[in-house]
């Protein structure tokens, strides 16, 4: 069975992180199970100009050529009957990129009333990788406490904060570096960002 990864895109700024992640995963023999929140769609339309399905956009704008054995399955966020809602659905991990403070708060509270939060909740209870790219600034104590709560429950908090020691020359370089680190966490090899070799 090909690896399955759940990807959620919520309504925080930085839709490009989710889009680049999905494009990277689809270049491999991986099943991507995608959930985009209502505000995820709206912010994606605003920031990236996506108006229809994501796959044609990734093909035309990012030059994505999907791997012949890749699969993209997309679910509506209100569909709690979808496979990722169940702990019996085996997968290799979930990434929420970007993750809004609202979705973070719902995960921290265990308020699983949509498929994104329910899938994250399932990851935590089943001890499967859950990687969040929370995006907000500045951070209130509520945001910080919620991050601490989900980190203690087992999630990896990976705020999309750029590093400059690899000398990025474009927004895409910055995004690639973060997405590369996310792939590292999932154990997926990539060429998005070079490993630091100390020089
Ligand atoms: C253009 C735009 C940018 C936003 N950026 C952020 C952000 O960076 N972080 C955040 O937590 N919320 C942000 N929001 C607010 C969220 O979209 C809002 O809280 C929404 O309810 C999140 O719902 P969701 O998590 O179900 O997508 C933004 C909203 C808009 C319209």
According to DSSP, residue 84 is labeled G
* CA-closest residue to ligand 1 atom 26: 37
State in Å: Cα 2 to ligand 1 middle: 33
Beta bridge partners of residue 130, listed in sequence order: 94
Burial bucket for residue 184 (CB in 10 Å: 0-12, 13-18, 19+): middle
Class of domain 4-186: alpha beta
Round the CA-based radius of gyration of the chain to a whole number and report it: 16
Measured CA to CA in angstroms, residue 64 lies from 25, 44, 173 at distances of 10, 18, 17
State in Å: Cα 124 to ligand 1 middle: 23
According to DSSP, residue 81 is labeled T
State which ligand 1 atom lies nearest to the alpha carbon of 39. Answer: 27
- Taking only the tens place, the pLDDT of each residue in 19-62 is 999 999 999 999 999 999 999 999 999 999 998 899 999 999 99
- Taking only the tens place, the pLDDT of each residue in 3-22 is 999 999 999 999 999 999 99
pTM: 0.97
Tokens of 168: 């990025």
Q: What is the pLDDT of residue 196?
A: 80
* CA-closest residue to ligand 1 atom 13: 12
* CA-closest residue to ligand 1 atom 14: 12
- pLDDT of 104 > 90? The answer is yes
């Amino acid at each position: 069975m090909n690896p399955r990864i759940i990807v959620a895109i919520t309504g925080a700024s930085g839709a490009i992180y989710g889009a680049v992640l999905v494009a990277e995963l689809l270049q491999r023999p991986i099943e991507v199970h995608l959930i985009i929140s209502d505000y995820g769609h709206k912010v994606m339309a605003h920031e990236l100009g996506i108006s229809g399905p994501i796959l044609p956009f990734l093909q035309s704008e990012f030059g994505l050529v999907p791997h012949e054995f890749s699969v993209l399955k997309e679910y509506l966020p209100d569909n709690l009957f979808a496979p990722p809602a169940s702990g019996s659905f085996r997968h290799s991990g979930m990434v929420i990129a970007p993750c809004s403070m609202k979705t973070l708060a719902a995960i921290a509270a265990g308020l699983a009333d949509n498929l994104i939060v329910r899938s994250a909740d399932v990851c935590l209870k089943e001890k499967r990788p859950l990687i969040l790219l929370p995006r907000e600034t500045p951070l209130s104590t509520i945001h910080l406490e919620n991050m601490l709560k989900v980190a203690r429950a087992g999630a990896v908090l990976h705020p999309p904060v750029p590093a400059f020691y690899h000398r990025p020359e474009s927004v895409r370089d910055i995004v690639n570096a973060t997405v590369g680190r996310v792939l590292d966490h999932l154990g997926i090899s990539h060429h998005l960002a070079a490993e630091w070799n100390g020089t």
